[in-house]
Amino acid sequence: MSVDQELVDAAIELARTRFPGQDWSGAAALRLDDGEILTSTAPDVPNSAVNLCHETGAICEAFKRGRRVVASVCVTAADGDRGFWILAPCGVCQERLFAYGPDVEVAAPEPTDPRRWRTLRLRDVQPHWFARVFADDVWPFGSDSSESPK
């Protein structure tokens, strides 16, 4: 199960309904191992030092349910009617998603058009991630990178 149009559309739909007509609004959508899609967005807070990423709510919900995340996408509504742009996960969200293994698939924007994406595995987005020194059978979160973190 990779990043696909259904997952991208779920994130865009949340951004459109939650922030109608607002430039630079955003949302995320995550696909779970059972195919379910969770969406979330970041709350506005007065102190920007405590901001959360759009993916955080859905990651927490997946953890609460004991489900494994297999794919993730984050979008932002660009200004001036330029459509929705795909955002690769920030470093913090990469770390959060790595809890589900290096094969979680994420959307990354195409260099020439951020409205289009390509699907990459976390291990390819972050080729020098610190835990790559561990063999696949010695994954830091259990013996199987497909298990949900405990």
In tens digits, what is the pLDDT along the chain, a chain of 150 residues? Answer: 589 999 999 999 999 999 998 888 899 999 999 999 999 999 989 998 999 999 999 999 999 999 999 999 999 998 777 899 999 999 999 999 999 999 999 999 999 999 999 999 999 998 888 877 776 665 555 434 444 443
Domain that holds residue 47: 5-138
pLDDT (0 to 100) of residue 39? 98
Residue 116: CB atoms within 10 A of its CB come to 13
Count of domains observed in the chain: 1
Tokens 């007065």 correspond to what residue? 46
Which CATH number do you get for residue 32? 3.40.140.10
Look at residue 48 and tell me if it is in a domain: yes
| 44 within some domain | yes
Q: Has residue 97 been placed in a domain?
A: yes
CA dist 25 to 7, 41, 68, 85, Å? Answer: 17, 9, 27, 10
**115 found inside a domain:** yes
Asked whether residue 47 is assigned to any structural domain, the reply reads yes
**109 membership: H or E segment, kind and range:** strand 105-110
Query: Can you say whether residue 72 is alpha, beta or left, with left for phi > 0 and alpha for psi between -120 and 50 degrees?
Result: beta
Residue 143: its pLDDT value, please? 37
Is 74 a domain residue?
yes
Q: Does 148 fall in a domain?
A: no
- Angle at which helix 91-98 crosses helix 56-65, to 10 degrees, equals 10
Examine residue 145 and state whether it is found in any structural domain, yes or no.
Answer: no
